[in-house]
């Protein structure tokens, strides 16, 4: 009887300890609407940078590491920031001109931790190449952002068009 009582007391102490440790986990309090505003600003910057060819803005929004992933229409896959930067030759060319863009139906979700977010929208990205239209209209655009060093950076993007 005494052994059972000691086992029961030990079990209760272990359960109490486990419960108290679980309650020691800090609760992250985030101002969700403020974070969504910052996330939205980053999403717009990832397209809007092109109007003035503001590469500093763009490179501050894209995750600067080897895990960055971008998937475009067809078979275009960009893996890593260094690969992403190689497109600067194209985007920086005087033959490329950003005209305007519109983001519609933007939906943003933020993780409970407040450090990861994902989005979906429809994008019209109106551009010219050598004076000829080179636009993406009604493109589906999804992505994932991570909060690093107090700012939101895009770690993954995917662009696609609906099959007809």
Write out pLDDT tens, residues 70-114.
999 987 899 999 999 999 999 999 999 999 999 999 999 999 999
Can you give the pLDDT at residue 66?
97
Q: Cβ contacts of residue 101 below 8 Å, gap of 6+? A: 47, 48, 50, 123, 124, 125, 126
Confidence label for 32 from pLDDT (cuts 50, 70 and 90): confident
- Check if the beta carbon of residue 72 is closer than 8 Å to that of residue 83: no
- Average pLDDT on 139-155 reads 97
Q: Cβ contacts of residue 77 below 8 Å, gap of 6+? A: 69, 70, 71
The larger pLDDT score, comparing residue 57 to residue 26, is at 57
State how beta strands 151-160 and 69-71 pair. parallel
C-alpha 156/C-alpha 68 separation (Å) is: 6
Torsions phi, psi of 25, nearest 5? -65, 125
- Among 7-16, 82-91, 146-155, the range scoring the smallest mean pLDDT is 7-16
C-alpha 151/C-alpha 147 separation (Å) is: 5
Q: Domain 30-160 - what CATH class? A: alpha beta
Record the tokens describing residue 83, joined without a space: 């690969």
C-alpha 70/C-alpha 50 separation (Å) is: 17
With a cut of 60, say whether residue 3 has pLDDT above it: no
Q: Is 109 exposed, middle or buried, given 0-12, 13-18 or 19+ CB atoms closer than 10 A?
A: exposed
Record the tokens describing residue 137, joined without a space: 């209209």
With a cut of 90, say whether residue 10 has pLDDT above it: no
With a cut of 80, say whether residue 40 has pLDDT above it: yes
This model's pTM is above 0.85: no
- Average pLDDT on 54-72 reads 97
């Amino acid at each position: 009887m005494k052994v059972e009582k000691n086992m029961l007391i030990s079990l209760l102490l272990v359960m109490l300890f486990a419960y108290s440790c679980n309650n020691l986990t800090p609760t992250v309090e985030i101002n969700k609407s403020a974070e969504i505003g910052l996330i939205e600003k980053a999403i717009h910057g990832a397209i809007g940078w092109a109007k003035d060819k503001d590469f500093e803005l763009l490179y501050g929004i894209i995750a600067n590491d080897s895990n960055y992933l971008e998937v475009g229409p067809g078979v275009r896959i960009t893996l890593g920031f260094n690969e992403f930067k190689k497109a600067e030759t194209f985007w920086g060319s005087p033959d490329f001109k950003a005209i305007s863009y519109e983001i519609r139906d933007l939906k943003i979700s933020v993780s409970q931790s407040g450090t990861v977010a994902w989005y979906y929208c429809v994008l019209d990205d109106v551009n010219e190449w050598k004076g000829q239209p080179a636009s993406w209209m009604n493109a589906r655009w999804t992505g994932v952002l991570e909060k690093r060093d107090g700012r939101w950076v895009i770690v993954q993007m995917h662009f696609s068009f609906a099959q007809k």
